[in-house]
Amino acid sequence: MDPIKISLIVAVAENGVIGRNGQLPWRLSSDLKTFRRLTMGKPMVMGRRTFESIGKPLDGRDNIVVTRDPNFDVSGVSVCGSVADALTLARVLALTRGTDEIMIVGGAAVYDLTLPLADRIYFTRVHATPDGDRAFASPDLEIWKEVSREALPKGDRDDHEATLIVFERAMPES
């Protein structure tokens, strides 16, 4: 078995929405703190649009961006032309860093391509129903088992309450 786990990390509204107009459809400081804690020290794989929405490489983590644009070049970012190449690089970087987890940080296009390969999903359920143009389906409970759940209460810098649910793969992809 591969000792390096592939984990998706995603925040999903009650109606499945994860994005709108290239951005997050909410302000959720509590979830951003959780994201920072869970990704720190690990390789992160993201689509080019998600990178543009973040706007800069995130510190303390490997930033691997998937794009078909051969001219995409940003300091502090590793660029890959396919998800397969990105995962190969992420594995090498994970071993170098001594971590056993690769974090897939979105967006919708990259989640779709990596969900079949994933071992774990850090799923923040955002208790809201915003309009949006990108979605992520609730994990199929025939395949995924909930292993933990933690409330993220609404603080001063949060638009909504949220709940962090961790799922682990219970059944291999058929």
**Binding stretches for ligand NAP (CB under 6 A):** 10-11, 18-19, 22-24, 46-50, 53, 66-69, 81-83, 105-110, 113, 134
* Closest CB 67 distance from ligand NAP, rounded Å: 3
Nearer to ligand NAP, 15 or 96 (CB): 15
Q: Among residues 26 and 94, whose Cβ is nearest to ligand NAP?
A: 26
Q: Name the phi and psi angles at 103, rounded to 5.
A: -105, 125
Tell me the helix, strand and coil percentages in the chain, rounded to 5: 25, 35, 40
Amino acid at 141: L
Specify the residue, 94 or 126, whose C-beta has the smaller distance to ligand NAP. Answer: 126
C-alpha–C-alpha distance, residues 153 and 174, integer Å:
37
Minimum CB separation of residue 98 from ligand NAP in Å reads 26
Q: Please report how close the Cβ of residue 87 comes to ligand NAP at its closest, in angstroms.
A: 11
User: Cα(60)–Cα(90) distance, rounded to whole angstroms?
Assistant: 14
**Least distance (Å) from ligand NAP to the CB of residue 71?**
10
Q: For residues 4 and 83, which CB has a smaller minimum distance to ligand NAP in the complex?
A: 83
Question: In whole angstroms, what is the distance from residue 88 CA to residue 80 CA?
Answer: 10
- Name the DSSP class of 81: S
